[in-house]
Structure 1
């Protein structure tokens, strides 16, 4: 399996001549009032990728891009959707084959297995994580989940995870602009929580996602960290990690 990191939480997986997109977003403009401007150039990929499968963890527009689905999904491609999101997704897409899965249910095609598993959204909306596996590699994608009590269970039930792609920005959000009361509690995993989650998942490596690209002084305040923090927490938790920049391909995969 070849793994490429796209913008923010996005991944492109290539396996058995099939292309898979997870949380692949190119247009973040709708969220500019709360995320601010991207601090780095956003990768434009939709003209170059034709996907056989598209998955997303939830419907926040920094994880779900209708434009990417329209441009990138092949005519015979499939949208793979967690069942609780299906009614909402069908309002956005037409004439696309949708594979609907309950939590822990699997769908296998072309030697690739897809499975939605438990997650918790930071503002209480519907979210799943995803496990995608072929003969060589098993990937866990955690969207922007917060800490929850199912990581132990997920680690026991889903052996041999190679890479856990988990959010690490521990962001505090102030979304009063859209009617949510302010809370100082982070709305995604922070760095230490992500390391511990990866450890409980028994992942060979944590790959941090969902950090660095956005910050807003009033609405979207991420926790910052540096290489020393990564090394210190990795040693403390005894969890290996690798950093993958946007656009980079995971050489080890």
Structure 2
């Protein structure tokens, strides 16, 4: 499996000559008033990528980019959707072939298996995590999940996860402008929680995602960390990790 980190929480997988996108976003402009300006250059990939399968963890526009679906999904490609999100997705993308899966239900094609599993959104919206595996590699993608009590069970029921892509910015959000009361509790895993979740998943390595690219002094306040923090937390928790820069490719076989 070839794995490329895209922007923010996005990743691209290539397996069995098939291309898979998860939480792949190129246009963050809709959330600019909340997320602020991107601090690094955003990768442009939609002119080059033709996807056989597209998945997303939830409908926040920094994880679900309708333009990516329209530009990148092949004519015969499939949008794989967690059933909890199906009604909303059909309202905006009903002209695309969908494979709809309940939690823990699997779909296998071309020696690639897709499985949505439990996740918990920081502001109470519907979200799933995804497990994708081929004959050699298994990855877990956690979107922007918060800490929950199912990581133990997920680790027991899903053996041999190689890479756990988990959010790590522990962001505090202020969304009072859309009617949500302010809370100082982080709306995604922080660094220590990400390492602990990867450890409970028995992942060979944590790959942090959903950090570094955005911050807003009033509405979107992330927890910051550096290489020293990564090394210390890895040692404290007993969990190995791998940092992939946006655009970087990992070959695993």
Same fold (TM over 0.5): yes
Name the CA distance, whole Å, in 1 between partners of 2:43 and 2:124: 29
Q: How far, CA to CA, are the matches of 2:92 and 2:10 in structure 1?
A: 20
1:235 aligns with 2:229: no
CA offsets 1:101-142 (integer angstroms, 9 cap, x no match): 000000000000000000000000000000000000000000
Does 1:9 find its partner at 2:9? yes
Q: Is the 8 A contact 2:137 2:252 kept in 1?
A: no
Paired with 2:28 and 2:224, the residues of 1 have a C-alpha distance of 21
**Superposition deviation, residue 6 in structure 1:** 0.3
Give the C-alpha shift of residue 251 in structure 1.
4.0
Give 1:250 shift: 1.4
User: Is the 2:130–2:140 Cα contact (8 Å) retained in structure 1?
Assistant: yes
How many residues were matched structurally? 253
Map of 1:143 onto structure 2: 143
Please give the alpha-carbon distance, in whole angstroms, between the structure 1 residues aligned to 2:252 and 2:21. 19
Partner of 1:132: 132
- 1:196 corresponds to which residue? 196
Gaps of 5+ in 1: none
RMSD: 0.6
Distance 1:8 1:179 in 2: 26
**TM-score scaled by structure 2?**
0.99
Alignment partners' CA distance in 2, 1:49 and 1:56: 16
Structure 2 counterparts to residues 210-229 of structure 1, below 5 A: 210-229=210-229
1:87 and 2:102 aligned: no
CA distance in 2, matches of 1:226, 1:30: 28
> Equivalent residue for 1:96?
96
Gaps of 5+ in 2: none
| Superposition misfits of 4+ residues, deviation over 4 angstroms | none
SS at match of 1:189: coil
